[in-house]
Amino acid sequence: MSRNYYELTYILNPVLEDDKYDGLIDKFTEVIRDNGGEIDEVNKWGIRRFEFDINEKSSGFYVNAYFTAPGELIEKLERALRISDHVMRFMTLKYDAKMMRHRNLQRKNSVPQVFVEEEEGEDEEDEE
């Protein structure tokens, strides 16, 4: 049984009570643990606005989770997410070697800066 690294992002209905969010997050975390998965990190991003309405709602409560699990778990987890009335959308990513290297850099807080922002003072000097 091979174990892979996954990232799961899901959006919960924004009209729930705060304790209901925690209960749903715990529920999906338990699905992962009960089926042989190991949680690495769970991040609550909170309520964010959508670019376009989903199910007649303009915002949702975002949750992002990183975990290691056997491949068979994903089918069970996604079924639980689909069945829940409070989950608006979800996406599961299986990490390959390149994504794992990037994730390891994130953990160490040493992701290289790709784009260098110019300082405001430099722009003013060029105009003179």
pLDDT single digits (tens) 32-70: 999 999 999 999 999 999 998 888 889 999 999 999 999
| pLDDT band at residue 114 under the 50/70/90 scheme | confident
Q: Are strands 57-70 and 3-12 parallel, antiparallel or unpaired?
A: antiparallel
CB 108 within 8 A of CB 66: no
How much of the chain, in percent, has pLDDT values that exceed 90?
Answer: 61
- Residue 61, CA distances (Å) to 57, 76, 77, 84 in order: 11, 22, 19, 14
Q: How far is CA 67 from the centre of its chain?
A: 11
**What is the residue extent of each domain of the chain?**
3-98
Q: Taking residues 85-113, report their average pLDDT.
A: 86
Three-state secondary-structure class, residue 73: helix
Domain over 3-98 is classified CATH 3.30.70.60? yes
